[in-house]
Chain A
Amino acid sequence: MIQINHLHKQYKGLNAVKDLSLTLEAGDIFGFIGPNGAGKTTTIKMLATLLKPTSGTAFIDGIDVIEQPEAVRGRIGYMPAFFGIYDDMRVWEYLDFFAGAYRLPKNNRPRVIDDVLNLTDLIGKKDNYVEELSTGMKQRLCLAKTLIHDPKVLLLDEPASGLDPRARIEIKELFKELKAMGKTIIISSHILPELADFCNKVGIIERGEMLVSGDVSDIMAQVSGGRTLEIKLMGDDDRAVSLLEGADGVLAARQVNGHLQVDFSGDLEAQADLNKMLIQSGLRVLSFSEQETDLEDIFMKVTKGLVQ
């Protein structure tokens, strides 16, 4: 659905995006992670046909973003990171304006407007002026506007920034609904828990370079270089460390806050054998578990340059 090949954007000598390549299938939800100024917005703007790449190509639904921007616009819904809303209009007028801008036939518009208002839970505010809406509601209205022409691809740039926790949860629920509808979504954020729940693919970008991208599970394995095991023993930690360091699949073992942390590259069977070995060596094992790696860990490792 989205194919980006060696995309490059240069601003006045500064490389905002460097050699970025990415492939997304229909229905993928891609979390675009990176610190502020990493190049997320520039990439999204290039896909949204608002910026011309310096070099490289990008295709959305098989259409060249550079050669056929008008055709691409009908297939994408773009929600910018910082957006304003025409506040001198009623909610339905605002959506009607964008329905017109996306060339929806006039007689279809009332039904489509009701549909997107229902989806974004704003139907009760249909006749209100936009300026009367709360920040969270405005964010949902902007999303409703983004969905008005039923685009196949959604480009959402920091969609939950500036929202209070309740509004953030509401908008997350909305994203899950969009995922269920089969939309292909690129969603950028630097707030990682926002993305962890519903992205099946992620990409981490820093200083314009895509450091890592792909399936969340693959990246976790790639970044952590295997699993990290947490072992809690009843004493004898020093003996355990020396035993573990000689065991198969153990990359490193260390004592951390009263328990052992083991970097392990073996499979599940080897993991079970390791546990058995500890017990057979007379060590009293209180707990033996795999440490969960989340997006935040990956982000911290990758952006520190631990992964090349």
Chain B
Amino acid sequence: MGIFSNNPVLEREMRGRLRLRRRGAGKSFFWVAIILTAVIFYFYARGLAGLFGGPRQDAREFWPLLSYGLLVIIVLLAPALTATAITTEREQQTWDTLTSTRLTGSEILLGKWLARQTIPAVLIFLACPYLVGCVIRGQMDPLLLPATLAFLVITSLFYGALGLLCSYQAKRTVAATATALTCMAFFCLGTSLIASVVMILNGPRDPAVLWLNPFYALSALQNLLNHSYQMEQNTSIVWFYFLVVPTLTAAMLLFMLRRYRQAVRG
């Protein structure tokens, strides 16, 4: 048994995230969901066909809309989803029962963290054909696609870990969610505000705190691969983001595992 294979926590969380039919929801809900899915799929396919058949400029203009749109959803969704992971267990008094089993801290915490990445992962997966369409039709740098996908994935994992950490440390779900979203707001908006103040005081050069801002970093990545201006600085920003964000993610997870082992001795 490991974190990925035969991990009951991962399986239960995944099943819970993806379960459409619940008792009480009834058959009508099920049929509404089917019809809605069919309508969405129709527009999805039509949009995709339009993208491949449309003008090149449209594809180039659609790319930032899609990538930034995905980033907005991910930074909002990933911490909100994981912020409920542990506090809900505590609130519904299942945490002691869970931790007294033979499951290890890694299986429980990493299982919850990964399972709650399902929805962001599905969104990224659904966006993939559009992103591919933009790159092909817009004749953009092919490296832009894997680089953007990797960027979105590490961002989702980072904000997911942030939410999980808040959930692990807080006693109530409301507090965990509020803290996670505040931290997210700091990275996405606070860094820009700090940078603005620093720039007013110290001159026009972008301060390093801004490099943690996912929107700024995504912009640097896209400018870098579109061979736009400030190549050197964009390279630094991208390297910084791709090194620091996974390191911070790992640090948060290790911190939680250490705390778990001290508390539960797993």
Contact = CB atoms under 8 A, between A and B. Distances in A.
Interface string A51-87: 0100000000000001001100110101010111110
A196 to B, nearest CB: 28
Nearest to A74: B102
Contacts of B98: 101
A218 B77 CA distance: 62
B102 A101 contact: yes
B265 A52 contact: yes
A286 to B, nearest CB: 56
Which 9 residue pairs are nearest across A and B when measured between Cβ atoms?
A100-B8, A84-B92, A84-B93, A101-B101, A78-B100, A69-B265, A84-B94, A80-B96, A129-B23
Contact of B12 (A45, A84, A86): A86
A70 B94 contact: no
Contacts of A52: 262, 265
A98 B101 contact: yes
B6 interface: yes
B11 A100 contact: yes
Interface in A110-149: 129, 131-132, 142, 145
A69 B264 CA distance: 9
A100 B101 CA distance: 10
A66 B264 CA distance: 11
B102 A73 contact: yes
A267 to B, nearest CB: 48
A145 B96 CA distance: 13
Nearest to B96: A80
Interface in B19-43: 19, 22-23
B103 interface: yes
28 contacts: A45-B96, A50-B96, A50-B264, A66-B265, A69-B264, A70-B104, A73-B102, A74-B102, A76-B100, A78-B97, A80-B93, A80-B97, A80-B100, A82-B93, A83-B93, A83-B94, A85-B94, A86-B12, A97-B8, A98-B8, A100-B6, A101-B101, A101-B103, A102-B102, A103-B1, A103-B102, A129-B23, A145-B97
A205 interface: no
A111 B72 CA distance: 48
A59 B160 CA distance: 39
B97 A69 contact: no
B16 interface: yes
**Interface residues of A toward B: which range?**
20 to 34
A74 B93 CA distance: 21
Given A84-B92, A97-B12, A101-B8, A132 B23 contact: yes
Nearest to B103: A101
A103 B101 CA distance: 9
A187 interface: no
Chain B interface helix/strand/loop/mixed: loop
Given A88-B16, A100-B6, A73 B100 contact: yes
Nearest to A103: B102
Contacts of B97: 78, 80, 83-84, 142, 145
A69 B12 contact: no
Given A73-B100, A84-B93, 4 more contacts: A52-B265, A69-B266, A80-B93, A101-B98
Given A48-B100, A80-B96, A101-B98, A70 B6 contact: no
Interface of A: 45, 48-50, 52, 66, 69-70, 73-74, 76, 78, 80, 82-86, 88-89, 97-98, 100-103, 106, 129, 131-132, 142, 145
B99 interface: yes
Interface of B: 1, 6, 8-9, 11-12, 16, 19, 22-23, 92-94, 96-104, 262, 264-266
A200 B19 CA distance: 48
A74 B12 CA distance: 21
Contacts of A145: 97
B101 A102 contact: yes
Contacts of B265: 49, 52, 66, 69
B112 to A, nearest CB: 13
Contacts of B23: 129, 131-132
A266 B134 CA distance: 99
A106 B19 CA distance: 22
A70 B105 CA distance: 11
A49 B101 CA distance: 10
Contacts of B93: 80, 82-84
A201 to B, nearest CB: 23
Contacts of B100: 48-50, 73, 76, 78, 80
Given A73-B101, A102-B102, A86 B94 contact: yes
A106 B1 CA distance: 11
Contacts of B101: 73, 98, 101-102
A83 B95 CA distance: 9
B187 to A, nearest CB: 32
Contacts of A106: 6
Nearest to A82: B93
A77 to B, nearest CB: 9
A50 B99 contact: yes
Contacts of B102: 70, 73-74, 101-103
A115 B8 CA distance: 21
